[in-house]
Amino acid sequence: MERASSAPCDEQLLARLAGRGITPTPQRLEVARALFGRCEHLSAEEVHASVNADGRHVSRATVYNTLGLFVSRGLVREVIVDPARVFYDPNTDPHHHFFDADAGRLIDIDGDNVAVTGLPPLPEGTELDGIDVIVRLRHSR
């Protein structure tokens, strides 16, 4: 089953890596496929499992290295909502998240309409790295 949006072809992924100056390797393509090939937020362990599910194999260390590389190059975004796992979000547009802790589920909130107002000035010697808004949910009875 191939749909351009949910399963980008390798050329698109290659272009994406190239655009960030990332040397493409088979392993990195696998990781990129796992992240961009579905519309989900994946934890590092889930990426590792996903990459190794279809008969191929990429080591844990390489998955973690690759995810770190992708984050440092702005290809994906790290979302920290649960101490037990970091999620990697292929959506790098400004946006926020619903987090359903009961289900361990993270849902994007489009950033266009969301505004945070009334923030105080930043502490001395620091600059803004980003604003995460996490709307924590619980299941209603």
Partner DNA sequence: CTAACTGCAAACGTTTTGCAACTTT
Partner DNA sequence: AAAGTTGCAAAACGTTTGCAGTTAG
Q: Name the residues that contact its own copies, by CB under 8 A.
A: 80-83, 85-86, 98, 100-101, 107, 109-110, 112-120, 122-123, 125-140
The answer for residues whose C-beta is within 8 angstroms of residue 68's C-beta and 6 or more apart is: none
Per-residue burial over 69-96, b = 16 or more CB atoms within 10 Å of its CB, e = otherwise: bbeeeebbbebebeeebbbbbbeeeebb
Choose, by CB under 7 A, the member of 5, 23, 117, 140 that binds DNA.
23
The distance of closest approach from Cβ of residue 104 to its own copies in the complex, given in angstroms and rounded to an integer, is: 13
Q: Is residue 50 at the binding interface for DNA, with CB under 7 A as the rule?
A: no
Strand order in the sheet with 42-43: 42-43, 85-89, 77-82
Q: And the tokens for 118?
A: 């009334």
**Residues 53-112, interacting with DNA (CB under 7 A):** 57-62, 64-66, 68, 83-86
In the complex, which residues of this chain contact DNA (CB under 7 A)?
23, 25-28, 43-45, 57-62, 64-66, 68, 83-86
